[in-house]
């Protein structure tokens, strides 16, 4: 039996592989990537490599084997994820995998904001497949903000979330939980609501960034249309800009990404990474 990670060369996939290699021998781990070139670093570490493309279903034939435990990492291309994920689910079903884990969104079927739609459709497809499953419902990533620090230091933090609280955690936190569920027992047909231990507002984020950087970083809460214009002006495609605005107004502002279950910390056996530590690491580069 292998532990197979799709999207293995992406930001999250790389970290999941790192965590798996701390827990099991490399010859038990397989990474699925779009090209052998991208997966060279995995192969150099002794990880098995299988080549497939979510957008080309026929390439998924033979990628999964009977008895594998598979992590389907959500695709990054909003608007295309349902057919991509459905192709992976069909291939996993045909292969007879032992369990299919999926990185969805906090709230699962109760998440009524635009970004959640494709995740909810994927969970339904997995349930309809009859495969044993684990739903890893990730909250917001701290890196969604810390990855923008150079821009924030110049222009400030902007959004439309008001004083809504965000139970964010780092990708490394989520990756540790994902790996634990892949190698551990007792996770079959369960859903985990994963979020950071302490939820914070964008104003609190800006204040902490100001404190650590030594520069005044304001938070400006914009009306939805104004925030959309800022995003589009920064080069974000119009459809994605609309989704990001909706995350702020329909999810964060309403408390849907606040979290608070404590399940992430319980799975990884430690507190989640504090916001101050995440900002400090990002400032160090």
Sorted by where each begins, the domain ranges of the chain are: 3-139+170-194+260-268
Determine the Cα–Cα distance for residues 138 and 103; give it in Å rounded to an integer.
Answer: 6
**CATH placement of domain 3-139+170-194+260-268:** 3.40.50.720
User: Pairing mode, if any, of strands 48-51 and 69-72?
Assistant: unpaired
Q: What is the pLDDT of residue 23?
A: 97
Give the per-residue pLDDT at 247. Answer: 98
Give per-residue pLDDT as tens, 171-226. Answer: 999 999 999 999 999 999 999 999 999 999 999 999 999 999 999 999 999 999 99
Predicted confidence band of residue 1 (pLDDT cuts 50, 70, 90): confident
pLDDT tens-digit map of 23-34: 999 999 999 999
Condensed to tens digits (0 to 9), the pLDDT of residues 116-153 reads: 999 999 999 999 999 999 999 999 999 999 999 999 99
Contact of 73 with 7, CB cutoff 8 Å = yes
């Amino acid at each position: 039996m292998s532990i197979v990670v799709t999207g293995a060369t992406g930001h999250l996939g790389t970290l999941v592989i790192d965590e798996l290699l701390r827990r099991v021998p490399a010859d038990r781990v397989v990474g699925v990537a779009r090209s052998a070139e991208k997966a060279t670093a995995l192969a150099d570490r002794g990880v098995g490599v299988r080549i497939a493309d979510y957008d080309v279903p026929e390439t998924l034939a033979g990628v999964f084997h009977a008895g594998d435990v598979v992590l389907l990492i959500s695709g990054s291309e909003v608007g295309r994820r349902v057919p991509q994920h459905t192709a992976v689910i069909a291939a996993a079903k045909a292969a007879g995998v032992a369990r299919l884990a999926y990185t969805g969104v906090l709230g699962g079927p109760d998440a009524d904001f635009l970004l959640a739609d494709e995740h909810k459709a994927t969970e339904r497809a997995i349930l309809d497949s009859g495969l044993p499953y684990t739903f890893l419902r990730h909250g917001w990533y701290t890196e969604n903000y810390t990855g923008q620090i150079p821009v924030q230091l110049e222009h400030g933090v902007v959004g439309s979330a008001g004083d809504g609280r965000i139970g964010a955690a780092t990708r490394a936190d989520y990756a540790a939980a994902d790996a634990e569920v892949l190698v551990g027992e007792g996770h079959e047909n369960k859903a985990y609501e994963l979020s950071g231990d302490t939820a914070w507002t964008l104003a609190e984020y800006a204040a902490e960034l100001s404190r650590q950087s030594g520069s005044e970083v304001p938070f400006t809460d914009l009306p939805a249309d104004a925030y959309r214009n800022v995003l589009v002006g920064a080069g974000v495609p119009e459809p994605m800009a609309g989704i990001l605005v909706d995350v702020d107004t329909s999810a964060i502002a309403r408390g849907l990404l606040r979290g608070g279950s404590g399940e992430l910390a319980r799975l990884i056996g430690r507190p989640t990474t504090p916001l101050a530590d995440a900002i400090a690491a990002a400032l160090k580069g």
